[in-house]
Amino acid sequence: MEYIIIIISALLVNNVVLAQFLGVCPFLGVSNKVDTAIGMGGAVTFVIVIATTVTYLIQIYVLNKLGIAFMQTITFILVIAALVQMVEIILKKVSQPLYQALGIFLPLITTNCAVLGVAILVIQKNYNLLQGVVFGGSTALGFGFALVIMAGIREQLELADIPDGMKGVPISLVIAGILALAFMGFSGIVR
């Protein structure tokens, strides 16, 4: 039951973009088309799950053991950047079509603050490794879910008659606010 609560909480109630405001830049920048949003959501999910696992192990078995837990943020940033580069190199060698499909998304993930935020939240919430991976995967899926919803709405808005002053970023921010309010409706589901 504990894992179900973690999943629902990370996916809906405490959505990383709409409730915690992490990863807003790619949320607004990559949500023009549903296909692009799905690609970015998949790439972020893959990297967050791997990064959560590796950063947890480094925190527990290196930083805490050596008494240098204060180096957490810089260490996590370096690990995430290295992981993204490693994933990019491996995908280029192993699966060229998948590498080309992800395209620019992989390097962009390095600067996505949601990846670093999730890695730090796992440590702050005192999760064990399995709970951390479940939390990371659920949070990443929640990011992708919000991204795809936003992209679908923005695609529909291209067909709507919007005043010139509201086109582009202004209407996107209004939609993001309304989505955040809608996701607040899930807050009664879990504590």
Res 96: pLDDT: 81
pLDDT recorded at residue 126: 95
Distance between CA atoms of residues 120 and 56, nearest Å: 9
- Which portions of the chain are predicted below pLDDT 70? 191
Q: What is the pLDDT of residue 23?
A: 86
> What pLDDT, on a 0 to 100 scale, did the predictor assign at position 32?
83
- Residue 154 is encoded by which pair of tokens? 């923005």
Alpha-carbon gap, residue 37 to 41, rounded angstroms = 6
What is the rounded distance in angstroms from the CA atom of residue 55 to the CA atom of residue 80?
A: 8
pLDDT for position 191 = 62
148 in Cβ contact with 38 (< 8 Å):
yes
pLDDT score recorded for residue 132: 96
Q: Is 1 exposed, middle or buried (0-12, 13-18, 19+ CB in 10 A)?
A: exposed
